Amino acid sequence: LAGLRAAVPRARQHTVADAEQKVLDIIKTVREHGFSALSDLALRFDGVQQLHP
């Protein structure tokens, strides 16, 4: 059983701090790149291409 556990990767435990950092990174990107960043994020997370604000 120990060999199996060592061979099978476990999912990384995500923390609130991890989530908070991701949100802060998204906010920073939107502040720096405006609508272009929002458009990219909409495509990435929602599968929707935004062509105009």
DSSP assignment of 19-49: HHHHHHHHHHHHHHHTHHHHHHHIIIII---
Amino acid present at 3: G
pLDDT digits (tens, 9 = 90+) for 14-51: 788 899 999 999 999 999 999 999 999 999 999 999 88
Contact in structure between 48 and 42 (CB atoms under 8 Å): yes
Contact in structure between 48 and 37 (CB atoms under 8 Å): no
Greater model confidence, 36 or 11: 36
The predicted structure's pLDDT at residue 6: 79
**Structure pTM?**
0.65
| 51 vs 39: CA distance, rounded Å | 7
The residue count of the chain comes to 53
